[in-house]
Structure 1
Amino acid sequence: MAKRILITGAGSGFGRGVALGLAQKGHHVIAACEIWPQVTELRQVAKDAGVDLRVIKLDVRNEIDRNHAFENEIDVLFNNAGIMESGPALELPMQIVRDVFETNVFAALAMAQGFGKQMVRRGSGKIVWTSSVAGLVKVPWDSAYAASKHAVEAFCSALREELAPYGVKVATVNPGAFRTGFNDTGMEAQDQWWGQGERVMEHWPVRELNRQHDPQEMIDAMIDVIEADEHPYRTIRPAVAEDMARREQQEEWERKV
């Protein structure tokens, strides 16, 4: 049966792939993009592909945009919008940390609250939240992003228990490293501020991200979770990332300082 699905962060990467994929399968998809140029572009992409896709402007940090989105009745919220900025925790500008949390945690929680209340009143619905493998393990030089995704994990696990009695499901999808450009720009962003102050640490060595995976694997897994009535609470791709996360979590219990 066709579902009504709203996807944040649909202007690029996983969000765009999932939006187009679900629309091609006959679902009623609202693809939410952060800025107007993304809206215009994605509408043209959908038109060229012959896909019925509704595209709206939604900066998840913008209360006006959120309230406009909340006018829609949906079955599934795919809370996917997010940003990443790299850098050592000791040197990270506080504004960078605040920006990461504002998007990945506070704005995403506001989206979950708005649509979650609608779902509770109706007695059905699902919130699928893009977390990350970084929300489960240590990630040196990406601590702000990882910390925001650890916070996402905490909210999702709480929401899962709190909303279950009301017929509302909660799940996470946890990507590892995929070739969407997200990780590349997250690393490059450090150079915007590194030279603007005195540093006591060495710049993170620039390295080529040449071990990233085909994003279609993650897109397919996300579509499966959104469509299915029964599925795991947490979905990690690729399999090597799940193995790594399980191993590192166990190592933390045994680590000595």
Structure 2
Amino acid sequence: MGKTILITGAAGGFAHGAAIGMARNGHNIIATVQVSSQVTPLREEVERLGLKDRIRVERLDLTDPYDIDQALTWDYDILWNNAGMGEAGPVWEIPIDLVRENFEVNVFLPLVLTQRTVRKWIDEGSARGKKVVFTSSMGGLFTPANWGTYVSTKHALESVAEALQQELASYGIKIQTINPGAYYTGYNETMADNPFRWLDEKKHLTNREALRKEFDDFFATPEGRMDAQEMIDTMIEVVPADTGKFRNVKPKAIEDMLKQHQAEAWEATI
């Protein structure tokens, strides 16, 4: 049977492609976007694709409590917390207000929506069989230098999801994470631009040119420009599924790397 799936941050990237794919597979999608100006273009695209009966496009700005109140009036079987933002740059020099904002958008606001959603399901007596999915990251399981702010929010999401899985099991609510590698969607590339709006060599010790080269060199490698369709195809299968793995890492090479990294962490020295 088709599921009704509420997706946050569906204007572009992974969720945009997955929303279309899941709709084509017979699921009903509430595709939400943060900015009002994104609503009409996505509705027009949905109509062009002949999916108007399967995809409903709405605004859901998680910073707007009225948007959240409205979303709680909708009926859905699965909440996919996909919306997020990222701050890169050296953790020891990044302005702390940017760190707070990254946690607000990636952790606190999705948790607000999740808390209210699962309580609604429980109060209605409809919780069994429902599911919450979090878009985490390969960065939720390891921390490369100069990405620490963003990936620390994903580490936090991993803990939130693991706790929720245990706490909500008795109600029949399932929890999953999806952990993409560095697929080429434009998200990582624009995140890498963010430090250069505040990094000032008159105040900071991090060299702008060296940091820019580090980012550019990574994105020039095959590992930094993987085809996003592989991840989208995985999401199309994982998000609506009644069963599956709690953690879903793609590609396999990244999963293997993360397992090795975590094993080696026990022997790491200072």
TM-score interval for Structure 1 and Structure 2 normalised by the shorter chain: over 0.9
What are the superposed Cα offsets for residues 194-253 of structure 1, whole Å, 9 maximum, x if unpaired?
138600222313314132211111111112112211100110001111011111111111
**Greater than 4 Å deviation, 4+ residue runs:** none
* Distance in 2 between residues matched to 1:73 and 1:58, nearest whole Å: 15
Q: Identify if the C-alpha distance between structure 1 residues 163 and 199 changes in structure 2 by more than 3 Å, giving closer, same or farther.
A: same
- 8 A contact 1:39–1:55 mirrored in 2: yes
Runs of 5+ in structure 2 lacking a partner? none
- Which of 196, 208, 212 aligns to 1:205? It is 212
- Secondary structure at 1:242's aligned position in 2? helix
- Which of 191, 213, 219 aligns to 1:186? It is 191
State the match for 1:30 in structure 2.
30
- Secondary structure at 1:105's aligned position in 2? helix
* Distance in 2 between residues matched to 1:196 and 1:101, nearest whole Å: 26
Answer yes or no: is 1:123 the counterpart of 2:127: yes
Answer yes or no: is 1:172 the counterpart of 2:165: no
State the match for 2:50 in structure 1.
50
State the match for 1:62 in structure 2.
64
Aligned partner letter, 1:67: D
* Distance in 1 between residues matched to 2:29 and 2:127, nearest whole Å: 21
- Secondary structure at 1:254's aligned position in 2? coil
- 8 A contact 1:120–1:163 mirrored in 2: no
Farther off after superposition, 192-201 or 131-140? 192-201
- Which of 244, 263, 270 aligns to 1:231? It is 244
Report % sequence identity: 39
* Distance in 1 between residues matched to 2:109 and 2:156, nearest whole Å: 13
Deviation at 1:70, TM superposition (A): 0.8
* Distance in 2 between residues matched to 1:139 and 1:39, nearest whole Å: 35
- 8 A contact 2:78–2:240 mirrored in 1: no
* Distance in 1 between residues matched to 2:103 and 2:119, nearest whole Å: 22
Runs of 5+ in structure 1 lacking a partner? none
Aligned partner letter, 1:131: S
* Distance in 2 between residues matched to 1:117 and 1:222, nearest whole Å: 25
- What root-mean-square deviation, in Å, do the aligned CA atoms of Structure 1 and Structure 2 show? 1.3
Q: What is the TM-score with the length of structure 1 in the denominator?
A: 0.97
Q: What is the TM-score with the length of structure 2 in the denominator?
A: 0.92
State the match for 2:253 in structure 1.
240
- Which of 81, 84, 87 aligns to 1:85? It is 87
- 8 A contact 2:181–2:249 mirrored in 1: yes
What are the superposed Cα offsets for residues 60-80 of structure 1, whole Å, 9 maximum, x if unpaired?
122111111111111000110
Aligned partner letter, 1:128: V
Deviation at 1:118, TM superposition (A): 2.1
- Secondary structure at 2:30's aligned position in 1? strand
* Distance in 2 between residues matched to 1:84 and 1:56, nearest whole Å: 23
Deviation at 1:35, TM superposition (A): 0.2
What are the superposed Cα offsets for residues 21-74 of structure 1, whole Å, 9 maximum, x if unpaired?
111222111001010121111111111111121000011122111111111111
Deviation at 1:120, TM superposition (A): 2.5
- Secondary structure at 1:227's aligned position in 2? coil
State the match for 2:108 in structure 1.
106
Aligned partner letter, 1:84: G
Deviation at 1:165, TM superposition (A): 0.4
Q: Identify if the C-alpha distance between structure 1 residues 244 and 45 changes in structure 2 by more than 3 Å, giving closer, same or farther.
A: same
State the match for 1:217 in structure 2.
230
Count, aligned residues = 257
What are the superposed Cα offsets for residues 141-165 of structure 1, whole Å, 9 maximum, x if unpaired?
0111111001000100000000010
Farther off after superposition, 78-87 or 221-230? 221-230
